[in-house]
Each structure stands twice: as structure tokens, then as C-alpha cells.
Structure 1
């Protein structure tokens, strides 16, 4: 039992992110870390970094950026309720994500158009594409 506890104390960051269900596979977690989407204390991390309880990580996935604090360590991927017990998202992070989602839903960040192009506009677009290609 002591060896199992010792193994849980030493866990790679990519494995922990996978076990906490931030990424579907360890390969995706490793790729995200290597591409600079995971930061600890404002610095990029390496996949082999050993997270400790109380560490704060900033994770960027898609449009969202989460700030999470490590509450527990695990090398085993389990159900979502158990995975959510491994970390705690900060209040500021939750507020930022909800605000960004509301802006996206309102269309403030996207391209606004007047709807579908008319037949004349479509012909002009096709002519433009044909002349460029």
C-alpha cells in the first residue's frame, strides 16, 4: 500500500490532465502541453512535470481558458465525478468563461453578416474564386 501511495505522489502532468478528463487521450494532453496551452506560474510546462497539490495551472482548450488548482493526484482515469474531485476551478476563471460564452452566444466576437448572399452576390463570389484559381 505504501508503494501505491508513493506512485500517486509522482505523476506526470500529461497523465494527470488525462486522468482529470481535460483531454481525451494522453497524446492530446502531451500535444497541448508541448504547444504551450498549459502554464504553471506563468511559464510553459513540460509533459514530465510532476504536479503537486496546490499547484495552479492555466489550461487553454478551444475558446476557453481555465485556471485550476490541483486538489488530488491520480494516474487512473475514472468517471467524471471522481475526475472533478482532482481539481478545483477558481472563481475568476469560472466568471471569465461564462462571460466569454455569453459574448460568443450574443455574436459579439463573431463575424456579423446580413444573412445569406443574394444570387448576384453569389455569382460575384464565384467569379472572384474562379479568377483567383
Structure 2
């Protein structure tokens, strides 16, 4: 059992299926996208039960607490038992809302947008994205 007591963070994140490959988990650690108490950690950092990690994966932000150590990769249903997701509900929804951006469609054969049309499109996009970034800034 001494092997299970020492477990690297990159291997742990891969085993609980946060990252698809161990290489991606290692690169995320090197890039500063995995943090422990606000500090960047190296891929060789030893994971301990009870530690809380902040993980940035693209636009998605996760906060997980280690409940048990897991050396080998298991299916997703079993992997959930080895960590506790402490991500606030507001942040979980913000990732999905990015894909619900307004769909701008023009009728086929309508030609290029006029200057007025272009301004309306820009205003619509700017209002949508500014609204989402302002709500994200208030949460932090």
C-alpha cells in the first residue's frame, strides 16, 4: 500500500477523468491551470486526501476536494467517488450558457448586411458577451 499513499497530481487528475490523457493533465499543471490554495503546482505534486484544487480547463472552472486516492483510471461512475465537486452552481451554468449565444441568421439571397445591419449585429453581440463577462467578474 505505500504506492497508493504517494500519488502525483497529474496521474490523479487523469484517473478521475478530469483530463483525457495524463500528458494533458501534466501540461495543465505546468501552465498554471491547476492550483492548490491559489498557488501553482507542479505535475509531481503529491496528492493528499482533503486537499482542494482549482482546475481551469478552457472556459470551465472546477473546484474539487480529494476524498480518496485513485491510481488507475476507472469508469466515470466510479471515479466520482474519489473526489467531491465543490464548484459553485453559478460557475457550472456559465460554461453551458456560452453555447447558448444568439444565433444570427440571414435569409439566403439577402446579400451582404448593410452598415445599419452590421451595427445592429455588433450591438447585439456586444451586449450578450458583456453581460456574461460582467456576471463572471462579480462572482470572483
Taking structure 2 as the reference length, the TM-score comes to 0.71
Please give the per-residue CA displacement for 1:21-75, whole angstroms capped at 9, x wherever unaligned. 0011110110111111100000001000001000000011121101000001111
Of the three residues 90, 112, 121, the one matched with 1:120 is: 112
- Per the TM alignment, residue 84 of structure 1 is displaced from its structure 2 partner at its CA by 1.0
Unaligned runs of 5+ in 2: 115-140
- Per the TM alignment, residue 85 of structure 1 is displaced from its structure 2 partner at its CA by 1.0
- Per the TM alignment, residue 121 of structure 1 is displaced from its structure 2 partner at its CA by 4.1
How has the CA–CA distance of structure 1 residues 120 and 80 changed in structure 2, closer, same or farther, with 3 Å as cutoff? closer
Of the three residues 58, 64, 67, the one matched with 1:62 is: 58
- What is the SS of the residue equivalent to 2:112? helix
Number of residue pairs matched by the alignment: 112
Q: CA RMSD in A?
A: 2.2
Taking structure 1 as the reference length, the TM-score comes to 0.74
Distance 1:9 1:33 in 2: 20
- What is the SS of the residue equivalent to 1:72? coil
Distance 2:93 2:20 in 1: 26
Unaligned runs of 5+ in 1: 123-133
Q: List structure 1 runs of 4+ shifted beyond 3 angstroms.
A: none
